[in-house]
Amino acid sequence: KFPSKVKLVDVGPRDGLQNEKEPVPAAVKIELVHRLQDAGLTEIEVTSFVSPKWVPQMADNAEVMAGIRRKPGVRYSVLTPNMKGFEAAVASKPDEIVVFGAASEAFSQRNINCSIAESMERFAPVVQAARAQGIFVRGAISVAVGCPYQGEVDPQGVELVARLMKEIGVQHCGVADTIGVGTPRKVQAAMEAALRHYAIDDLSGHFHDTYGQALVNTMACLELGIWQYDSSVAGLGGCPYAKGATGNVATEDVVYMLRGMEIDTGIDLDKLIDAGKYISDYLGRKPNSRAATAILNK
Ligand code: HMG
Ligand code: MG
């Protein structure tokens, strides 16, 4: 019933670090990427090509991309909200780009400074240019189950954005619970809405863990057969335009759960915990992962 293997995309270097107040040196970000790939991650969301005025922590995007020792079989993805971002990103040779929209008008305005309809106009040429160059295009739908400005978001909001993304040629749809308010049935309903436009193999879940629901929401999606998830090493992160929202579900916790369920991720949990400890030590805090904490305290 459950998928026999799961692909995890570690978004720690991007989603995890974008909200850090103090600049994290590019060398530390690069080392984190290296440790993640050594732990067996096959896709890493490295950085974003957004306005440095909006997200200063990602201003070293090109430097970080240039510094990575690329490992064969690993995909490196970056966020590109518009042509300016895409053009800057191309020189860094990403394997994949991410355009990010929202299921609520209010969040779209706060995060990317335009309406949902305008966002699609901005994404369309990005998608076209990326695909023409053989770069895979992923789309993210933020606030898929709840919005910090609008409140409840219904599945029709997700369905609309999934449809619009499909129409402009976005190849993969990531359904995101930006502020971690979702619970299993709501998350399943959001996924089912996206499934009306995307096949199960082209869909992923991105769950922030603000309310401690991310793991159970992952389980609810496994029940639907969804086998791709974003997660963040050491549970790092939060979105600068979603006040109070905490990090993504910790990669360590997801790997621990899946290992116990005999679902293959190809990830070495001990090496992953070391990667999480490396970045947590740098930031001067404990890893925000229950599994990592338990194993480190043994
Ligand atoms: P804008 O102000 O509407 O853009 O910003 P604009 O085209 O009017 O340009 C204004 C200025 O920004 C100009 O500079 C542009 O050159 C510059 P000026 O002439 O004033 O000096 N600019 C850029 N600079 C660098 N890179 C670019 C770029 N574009 C314009 N790509 C924009 C629109 C989207 C750029 C802005 O709103 C922005 O950067 N927002 C930040 C969005 C962001 O990074 N959010 C966090 C990531 S999304 C997320 O975390 C959610 C996710 O994890 C899923 C989930 O959990 O929900 C993916
Ligand atoms: Mg996120």
- pLDDT at site 159: 98
What pLDDT score does 241 carry? 76
Could you tell me what percent of the chain has a pLDDT over 70? 99
Active site residue 239: yes
Question: pLDDT below 70 — which residues of the chain?
Answer: 238-240
pLDDT digits (tens, 9 = 90+) for 17-53: 999 999 999 999 999 999 999 999 999 999 999 999 9
State the closest ligand 1 atom to the C-alpha of 80, by its place in the atom list counted from 1. Answer: 31
- Given CA atoms 122, 107, 156, 12 in this order, what sign does their dihedral have? positive
pLDDT for res 245: 81
Look up residue 187 and give its amino acid. Answer: V
Pocket test for ligand 1, best of 9, 10, 51 (most atoms within 8 A of CB): 51
Burial letters 39-51, b for 16+ CB under 10 A, else e: bbbbbbbbbbbbb
Q: Where are the alpha helices (DSSP H) in 39-91?
A: 61-67, 83-90
Q: Identify the pLDDT of residue 186.
A: 98
The answer to whether the CB of 188 falls within 8 A of the CB of 213 is: no
User: Would the CB of 140 count as within 6 Å of ligand 1?
Assistant: yes
The single residue listed with the structure tokens 């998608």 is: 127
Entry pTM: 0.97
Q: Which pLDDT score, from 0 to 100, does residue 238 have?
A: 66
Residues 117-142: tens digit of each pLDDT: 999 999 999 999 999 999 999 999 99
At position 73, the amino acid (one-letter code) is G
The answer to whether residues 232 and 16 touch, using CB atoms and an 8 Å cutoff, is yes
Six token digits for residue 230? 């974003």
Q: For ligand 1, say whether the CB of 59 is within 6 Å of any of its atoms.
A: no
Q: With contact defined as beta carbons under 8 Å apart, do 102 and 83 qualify?
A: no
Protein residues placing their CB within 5 Å of the ion ligand 2: 15
